Amino acid sequence: MSDQRVKLEERYFLEGPRSRLLELSFAFQVLLEFIKGFRVLHFVGPCVAVFGSARIREGEDHYEQARQMGAGIAKAGFTVMTGGGPGIMEAANRGAKEAGGPSVGCNIILPREQTPNPYMDKTVSCKFFFVRKVLMFKYSCAFVIMPGGIGTLDEFFEALTLIQTRKIIDFPIVLIGKTYWEPVMPLFHSMIEAGTIGIHDLKYLLFTDSVDEAMEHINRYATEKYNIQRKGKFRRWKMFAE
């Protein structure tokens, strides 16, 4: 898809009410994109979603840590799910593949940073950010937030919002990189003091620099609490099965 076409579609989508025919066409596009995603991801098993910057390169500390995180998730029997692009996403998918585990991605079609990385067993490409996010949250039972930018913050706060409002159950969220994410903590404390959130809203949130600590947190709250069990080498959605 050309850069010009992407920009035109974005502009038309955000320009407000259009003709009923165009709105119907848009609704069908969204429906078809969801169906495509459901077909690709239905049998991938319980996933742990890893979010982070597309701009971090191989050899950087955060890249290597995401790679270790991907390997840890795979060894625990989960499928690694990312946004499918380069940087942190590539590192997590790569770590999973190197550890012999399943690796999937929900790529977003953008003028830049849109090429899927080569370390995925399955991938679905989305035109719409909201479809991509629904798919990633629908099939994940834990969320790992690596250093990233505005998009990563959007995904982090989306996860918190869905858990706070009970739209998804209390799956664990891990923030990797204490120094990077340290500025977030005073904000949360201020919100608690102001009464706009409760301390229980952050119950399943972990700040850490340790992959081992992150995996212990995921196993405690995703595996044990919700009875996600192994079937052979990998895990299955026992809580929804049968």
> What's the domain range around 59?
46-115+127-236
> Is residue 17 domain-resident?
no
> Is residue 32 domain-resident?
no
Q: If we measure between CA atoms, which residue out of 186, 7, 219, 227 comes closest to residue 111? A: 7
- Report the CATH number at residue 135: 3.40.50.450
> Is residue 15 domain-resident?
no
Domain total for the chain?
1
> Is residue 198 domain-resident?
yes
What is the Cα 213 distance to its own chain's centre?
19
Residues 6+ apart with CB under 8 A from 142: 48, 49, 78, 171, 172, 173, 174, 218, 221, 222
> Is residue 24 domain-resident?
no
Query: Per the confidence metrics, is the pTM higher than 0.85?
Result: yes
**Residue in this structure with the two tokens 């990189």, named with its chain if needed:** 177
Lowest pLDDT segment from 39-43, 50-54, 73-77, 227-231: 227-231
Helix (H) / strand (E) element for 25: namely helix 20-41
Distances (CA, A) of 52 to 80, 86, 97, 196, 230: 13, 10, 18, 27, 27
Contact between 129 and 103 under an 8 Å Cβ cutoff? The reply is: no
- Give residue-wise pLDDT tens across range 124-161: 999 999 999 999 999 999 999 999 999 999 999 999 99
